[in-house]
């Protein structure tokens, strides 16, 4: 949906399979999902949203630990929007927010991670993944992670390393690259040298998910990807924009 609204309440939707809104997070939409037993796709959600999944609530998120009273085992794909603050930093609570959120979806198979593409976003990583325990979806189901706008920033590398190292059944990790190291090249496809440097910094070969494939693309993921992802023509052209390294 692309409508302009402040609240999204899903009270009783026994056949609902998808909730897709590209601007839910940027518009700070309040989301409540009470009963949607067949829901398989949910996004894009972020830290600006107040979210309720049954009795599990994410409200003005600061909590260190949220008890997931209500879980949604039907959900297979989650899309999150990790926006930067106005001064260009990623929110300092994003690691805890993300880890608490995916506890609600124990059978999650795919995660899409969207972040800002504007030139002033900073590189720094405000937290550490080192001491975090795993969660059910990473132990048993997570197969695919997609960084929709990968810029080689420290927080992105740290997140990729963590998800790769802890996801036992990971098959694919996609990096849709964007090189903004200078304003002259802003938005252009990164060089192969830049991509090889990212591979070195990620150190993915030494992580736990040794069988996973790591795919680097020459542009950010298209905005309407989820609308056309089942289209045969779109699928045929999807991998043409990939680096052959």
In this prediction, the residues of the chain whose per-residue pLDDT falls under 70 are 1-3, 60-67, 86, 88, 118-126, 131, 179-187, 205-210
pLDDT at 32: 96
Is position 213 within any domain?
yes
CB distance 175 to 198 below 8 Å:
yes
Angstrom CA distances, 197 to 46, 151, 152, 173, 239, stand at 30, 12, 9, 17, 21
pTM across the whole model: 0.91
- Laid out side by side, the sheet with 18-20 consists of 18-20, 41-45, 77-82, 110-115, 144-150, 172-177, 213-217
Is position 152 within any domain?
yes
Is position 31 within any domain?
no
Is position 27 within any domain?
no
pLDDT at 91: 79
Q: Coil, helix or strand for 6?
A: coil
Alpha-carbon dihedral 115, 117, 120, 121, rounded to 10 degrees: 20
pLDDT at 122: 60
Is position 52 within any domain?
no
pLDDT at 239: 93
Residue with tokens 């600061």: 62
pLDDT digit string, tens, across residues 119-148: 555 666 667 887 677 789 999 999 999 999
pLDDT at 133: 74
pLDDT at 184: 60
Angle at 86 between CA 160 and CA 77, to 5 degrees: 35
Instruction: Tell me the residue range of the domain where 94 lies.
Output: 77-241
Is position 62 within any domain?
no
pLDDT at 1: 55
Report the distance separating Cα 22 and Cα 30, nearest Å: 14
pLDDT at 90: 81
Structure tokens at 20: 């897709």
Angstrom CA distances, 64 to 59, 72, 98, 112, 154, stand at 12, 21, 11, 23, 23
Is position 140 within any domain?
yes
Is position 37 within any domain?
no
| The total number of structural domains that make up the chain | 1
């Amino acid at each position: 949906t692309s409508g302009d609204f402040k609240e999204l309440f899903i009270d009783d939707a026994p056949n609902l399979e998808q909730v897709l809104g590209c601007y839910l997070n940027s518009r700070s939409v309040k989301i409540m999902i009470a009963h949607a037993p067949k829901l398989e796709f949910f996004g894009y959600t972020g830290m600006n949203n107040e979210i309720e999944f049954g009795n599990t609530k994410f409200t003005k998120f600061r909590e260190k630990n949220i008890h997931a009273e209500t879980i949604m085992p039907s959900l297979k794909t989650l899309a999150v929007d990790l926006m930067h603050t106005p001064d260009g930093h990623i929110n300092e609570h994003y690691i805890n927010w993300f880890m608490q959120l995916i506890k609600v979806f124990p059978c999650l198979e795919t995660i899409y991670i969207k972040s800002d593409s504007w030139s002033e976003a900073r590189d720094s990583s405000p937290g550490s993944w080192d001491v975090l325990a795993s969660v059910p979806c990473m132990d048993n189901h997570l197969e695919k992670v997609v960084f929709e706008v990968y810029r080689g920033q420290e927080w992105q590398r740290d997140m990729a390393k963590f998800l790769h190292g802890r996801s036992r059944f990971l098959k694919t990790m996609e990096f849709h690259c964007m090189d903004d190291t200078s304003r002259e090249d802003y938005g252009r496809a990164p060089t192969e040298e830049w991509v090889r440097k990212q591979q070195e910094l990620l150190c993915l070969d030494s992580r736990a998910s040794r069988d996973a494939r790591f795919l680097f693309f020459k542009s950010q993921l298209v905005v309407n990807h989820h609308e056309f992802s089942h289209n045969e023509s779109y699928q045929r052209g999807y991998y043409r924009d990939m680096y052959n390294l």
